[in-house]
Structure 1
Amino acid sequence: MVFTHRWLSILEGCLLVALGIHLLNSAHLLISGTAGLGLTLQYVTGLTFGTLFFILNLPFYLLAARFMGLAFTSRTFAAVSLLTLLSVLMDRWLEFSIAEPAMAAILGGLLVGFGLIILFRHQTSLGGINILAIYLERRFNIHAGKTTLACDVLILVVGCLVFPPEQILYSLLAFLSLSSVMGRYHRPPAWAQAAQPAR
């Protein structure tokens, strides 16, 4: 029963994140973390977001396996693979007509934020910056929202090289929406405060 509950929650979290990212991508906006880097690089490389997101996450599995154990790494790999699949399917089956980028930014940021909270509460991440955030929270008790916010600044700097200023400003709304959700609703679980790195 616990197993079914966990994986159903992981599916729900990935669906929310995938929908949020698809909404932002349709408005040509950014979001934080590895997803934001993938959204930026797709305009430079010509590869799809799903492909880039999967590739960018590969190096972070080593960190997850070393410090957070194989169970966490396996769940994260499954979540990343699921999000990649959902992104491909949404590109094919779901099309948005964006009249107001600000609304897309706010809704997209909220969807991604709540999806990440669901995943974090089930000791799962979407790789990349999420792995780093959970690792720092687990080992040094640094709130995941703080790590995410710091990385947001770096993603914005990279995005400035690709996107016009107007889109960066709208993207900032998405960043703030996501960070607001993480800061208010994410609570470090017991294992994040007391656990030591997995050996």
Structure 2
Amino acid sequence: MTSHSARHRLYEDAFALLVGTLLVSTGINLYSRVGLLTGGTAGLSFLIHYLSGLPFGLVFFIVNLPFCYFSMRRMDVRFRRKSLIASALVAGFSMAHPYMVQYERLNLFYSAMLGGVLMGTGFVVLFRHDASLGGVNVVALFLQDRYGIRAGKLQMAVDSAVVLASLFIVKPIVLLASLAGAVTLNMVIALNHRPGRYTGA
């Protein structure tokens, strides 16, 4: 985590939370429109959303609750507070996007890659301001800070496993596009969020 001397100011954190969650929720909206999947708790939320018809934002927030409990026990107060706000913002933006943005035509693979870039960039913005969206992100950041395990690589492995678990639910072409999106998302994180590269100053 960032040291006290390098902490961002309140308005910087607030703006970063808005930008990061807006990027992530836009990527989620693209995925939802074409029926794509992703990894982590978002992937589980997509599966429940597709199978039940429940709003993605509501499902995402509920699925993240156990990981919020983990963060309460393992992470500092600032991280917990900002992560909870970020999760709520993504849930809210995800429910608002369909009313704000309409797509006439979307290519499956282009949506997967663009959505992956948007979500990956959003995650990096949140990570650099000591926040996450709960779920695998919290565990990945904890292990990176404690043991030096790269967050991007760990999340890529988990995300790929979740997407592969959806093999019997989606068509092979959708699964292939979803895997491409998961790799893109985590490449963005792995290349742009490394210990020591960014100090938060």
Q: TM-score, normalised by structure 1?
A: 0.91
What is the aligned partner in structure 2 of residue 5 from structure 1? Answer: 12
User: Once the 2 structures are TM-superposed, how far is the Cα of residue 191 of structure 1 from its aligned partner?
Assistant: 11
Which residue in 1 is equivalent to 2:50?
43
- Asked if the contact 1:18/1:87 (under 8 Å) is kept, the reply is yes
Work out whether residues 98 and 104 of structure 1, in 8 Å CA contact, stay in contact via their aligned partners in 2: no
Residue 3 of structure 2 corresponds to which residue in structure 1? none
| Residue identity matched to 2:186 | S
* Coordinate RMSD, CA, aligned: 1.8
Give the TM-score, by structure 2 length.
Answer: 0.90
Question: Aligned AA for 2:139?
Answer: L
TM-fit CA distance, 1:70? 2.1
Q: Distance in 2 between matches of 1:158 and 1:26?
A: 21
- Residue identity in the other structure for 2:15: L
What residue number does 1:108 align with?
Answer: 115
CA shift, 1:190, in A, is: 8.6
Task: Return the letter of the residue paired with 1:141.
Answer: G
Structure 1 residues 9 and 66, CA, compared in 2 at 3 Å: closer, same or farther? same
| Unpaired runs of at least 5, structure 2 | 1-7
Q: Distance in 1 between matches of 2:14 and 2:194?
A: 20
1:101-134 alpha-carbon deviations (Å, 9 max, x no partner): 1111110000000000000000100011111111
Distance 1:99 1:82 in 2: 25
Alignment of 1:62 onto 2:69: yes
8 Å contact kept, 1:27–1:98: no
Segments of 4+ moved more than 3 angstroms: 189-192
Note if 1:88 corresponds to 2:95: yes
**Count of matched residue pairs:** 192
1:149–1:179 CA contact under 8 A, matched in 2: yes
Q: 3-state DSSP class of the match of 2:22?
A: helix
Q: How far 1:160 sits from its partner (Å)?
A: 1.2
Unaligned runs of 5+ in 1: 193-199
Q: Deviations over 1:61-107 (max 9, x none)?
A: 12111111222111110000011110010022222233421111110
